[in-house]
Amino acid sequence: RRSRRRKSVAIAYEPGQGDGTEPQRPRWEPRDWREQLERIREMRRGRDAPVDEMGVQTCYDSNAPPQVMRYQVLLALMLSSQTKDQVTSAAMLRLRRRGLTVDSVLQMDDETLGQLIYPVGFWRNKVKFIKQTTAILKQKYGGDIPSTVEELVQLPGVGPKMAHLAMHIAWDSVAGIAVDTHVHRISNRLRWVRKETKHPEETRVALEEWLPRALWKEINWLLVGFGQQTCLPVNPRCGQCLNQDICPAAKRL
């Protein structure tokens, strides 16, 4: 007898159907975000918000040696926490007039440092943090600042937002999105996060999941100035906002 052999028939599957893999879901992204972003760019075209004129990127001595410049950037960021740009800028100017370097700060007594940075927010704590961080920079990094977010956030008084901005400004490196209260607030109002976030770090993670990496550096500058001038924490100026018709929060505020 001849053995009857069944012909094997190749079965073609659609991706994710019977081939052992899960179908790829489209990446989530907010509705209208590209148009919202372009309108924010238009509103920020004047570059005349406090962050533009007195933000950290304006507070360091651009003629200083790179190592000194990077230290001044980090110090400005530490001072800027919960402090208006105008106050931070004035404090940095006073410090720079005294010669703002790692060595000059280490030689300065706490009282003098406090007088120079007052009235920045929580200035007493910042005197302590600045002294501790500056000593670590001297001992561990040869007077320079760390070049990674992971190392920067280990320094006393340095949080994730400061670390990412330090990478942007001091090292010209984009390791993540710098999220402060403005970016956090506006991202939730525009629903640029899939679900409401409670803290800036949650917002950073949520934004980095979908926002193209090429925009990570720009987004902080755009939204901070927008938050200072138009999308205010209290009584936002929705009537002046180009996004009024496509902002999920505009009609409720």
Q: How far is CA 213 from the centre of its chain?
A: 13
Under 8 Å between Cβ of 76 and 60: yes
Nearest in space to 95 (alpha carbons), one of 111, 80, 112:
112
User: Residue 183: exposed, middle, or buried by beta-carbon count in 10 A (0-12, 13-18, 19+)?
Assistant: buried
Task: Report the distance separating Cα 66 and Cα 142, nearest Å.
Answer: 13
Under 8 Å between Cβ of 96 and 73: no
- Work out the number of other CB atoms within 10 angstroms of the CB of residue 145: 26
Which residues belong to the active site?
161
Is residue 66 reached through a cis peptide bond, with omega within 30 degrees of 0 on the bond before it? no
Task: Report the distance separating Cα 247 and Cα 106, nearest Å.
Answer: 49
Under 8 Å between Cβ of 233 and 30: no
